[in-house]
Amino acid sequence: MPDLEGIAYIARRLGLDAGTVRRFIARESEALGVVLHRGKGDRLLLTRDDADKVIASYEARRGPVNPDDQASATLDRYGWFYVIQLVPEALPDRVKIGFADNVDKRLAEHRTAAPTARLLKAWPCKRSWDYAATDSVTRDGCKLVLNEVYEGEPRGFLDRGDQFFSVMPSPESEKDLSEHSPLYEADEASGRADLRKPEKE
């Protein structure tokens, strides 16, 4: 049996969440000729060659994912939710919060106007969680300055962020499929296993 890769491998390569990858494979597996295998815990696995086919097909349709390009971000992508202290030596209670695909690049951008800005913390985050995370992190103990800039005790932002993300799944996590899921329906005409009927290892 050749080396097998999970959905999370493709998700990382494309900068997408696992659910988006799973849906793409469900639509395109027959056209691409990829065969899926069922691994431990009913994880869906592909050979490295088939995984590369999926990645190449997605990039050909949407273009390569550039993690530095904020304009290309969509709700199915994930990155980081961050808290940046803008001017720690003068205004230690003023922070910028938000979502970024690349936290180091975002910090560098802030340092063009605030050279001493520093990253306090960042959590792995789906873009679709951005507004909920912001509402949770700023729910009390702070005041809005402008846009995503707030004033409040920095430790409070971090504690509220920890609380929010402690109950969220990993952005790369896969949902377990029910044995009754239509994704497991057999494609009798093709006579091969695809996303709707994964092979056992």
CB atoms within 10 A of CB 2: 9
Q: What is the pLDDT along the chain (201 residues), one digit of tens a residue?
A: 567 888 888 888 887 777 778 888 887 877 888 888 877 766 778 888 888 888 888 877 665 555 444 434 444 567 899 999 999 999 999 999 999 888 999 999 999 989 999 999 999 998 888 899 999 999 999 999 988 999 999 999 999 999 999 999 877 666 666 766 665 543 333 334 444 444 444
Q: How far apart are CA 106 and CA 21, in angstroms?
A: 26
Domains of the chain: 4-67+179-200 (1.10.1660), 73-166 (no CATH)
* pTM listed for this prediction: 0.57
Secondary structure string (H, E, C) spanning the chain: CCCEEEHHHHHHHHCECHHHHHHHHHHHHHHHCCCCEECHHHCEEEEHHHHHHHHHHHHHHHCCCCCCCHHHCCCCEEEEEEEEEEECCCEEEEEEEEEECCHHHHHHHHHCCCCCCEEEEEEEEEHHHHHHHHHHHCCCCEEEEECCEEEECHHHHHHHHHHHHHCCCCCCCCCCCCCCCHHHCCCCCCCCCCCCCCEEC
